[in-house]
Amino acid sequence: MTQTPAQHDSATPHDVVATWVGGPTLHLVYAGTAFLTDPTFDEAPAEYAGPVTLRKLVGPAVPVDALGPVDVVLLSHDQHADNLDAAGRALLAAVPTVLSTTAAATRVPEVRGLDPWDHVDLDGGVRVTAVPARHGPEGSEALSGSVVGFVLEAEAWPTVYVSGDNASLDVVDQVVRRFPDIALAVLFVGAANVGRFGAEPLTLDALRASAAIDLLAPARVVPVHHTDWAHFVEPLAVLEERLERGGRLDRLVVPERGIPLTL
């Protein structure tokens, strides 16, 4: 029988269990708390109108009602449908804690807004620190809006970094300097590009992701948000090939869609 995200019988204490739903959406069980990154649960195909039309190509591997408990949503930003679609937005009302940017808190009633380096101490002993993210090249904020990443810490647990939609190596360097013991990093990759900044991507391309993985050494890296939407221009294979040439492919942990993975 296929294991569902709510079942983690093979996990042992202090294991982090990750289930990739698709796109940027990862269910992460950490220190007894169930986190969900950037919820996207609309079926596909779908189109989202706006200044740039976004096209969803693949629906979720796990339907929201089969996902299991969600205690905390880590929402990198609310303004783009590929990070918060209609079904993901509807989910927020049922989640006890939703953390995102201070700008998101002015638009989404469920959000608790955090500025970079602010932190929240959750029941159960997990500290969540908001960290910077930049959704494109330098100066892109006026068009892309504010974005945030997150670091998770708990006593006797590995430190986890969730990048959010970040394209900046300077940002990764800042995070590593503040949190030198990161053991697991969830990186949003795929070189997202909607044509606003020429060839400059909105998320890490393979070149930048490879450099970020060097900055994060020896952390293991889970790549997400590299597929399922039309504006991702680099398949994950490009990053895998680059890491393989550099002898670092063993650092990359690629979850199978919809299957819980013990890290």
pLDDT (tens digit per residue) in 161-200: 999 999 999 999 999 999 999 999 999 999 988 888 888 8
Reduce the DSSP state of residue 237 to 3 states and report it: helix
> Is residue 126 scored above 70 in pLDDT?
yes
**Distance of alpha carbon 107 from alpha carbon 79, whole angstroms:** 9
Mean pLDDT, the chain, as a whole number?
Answer: 92
What pLDDT was estimated at residue 199?
85
Enumerate long-range contacts of 101-107, CB under 8 Å, 24 or more apart: 101/77, 101/146, 101/147, 101/148, 102/146, 103/77, 103/145, 103/146, 104/75, 104/77, 104/78, 104/79, 104/146, 107/78, 107/79
8-state DSSP, 167: -
pLDDT, residue 6, reads 41
The rounded distance, in Å, linking the Cα atoms of 56 and 42 is: 9
Q: Which two tokens stand for residue 116?
A: 């970079």
Is 104:111 a contact under the CB 8 Å cutoff? yes
User: Using N-to-C axis directions, what is the helix angle for 236-245 and 206-215, rounded to 10°?
Assistant: 50
pLDDT at 156: 95
What does the DSSP 8-state code read for residue 83? Answer: T
Domains (ranges, CATH) in the chain? 17-253 (3.60.15.10)
Q: What is the pLDDT of residue 12?
A: 52
The 10s digit of each residue's pLDDT in 37-57 is 999 999 999 999 988 899 999
State how far the Cα of 128 lies from the Cα of 53, in Å rounded to an integer: 33
Written as one letter, the residue type at 81 is A
Is the model's pTM score more than 0.75?
yes
What is residue 175's DSSP assignment? H
Decide if pLDDT at 8 tops 70. no
Q: Given this model, what pLDDT does residue 140 score?
A: 75
Tokens representing 17 are 């269990």
CB contact at 8 A, 149 and 141: no
Q: What is the pLDDT of residues 76-118, one digit of tens each?
A: 999 999 999 999 999 999 999 999 999 999 999 999 999 999 9
CB 100 within 8 Å of CB 127: no
Q: What is the largest CA-CA distance in the chain?
A: 50
Helix count (H) and strand count (E) of the chain? 6, 15
3-class DSSP state of 111: strand
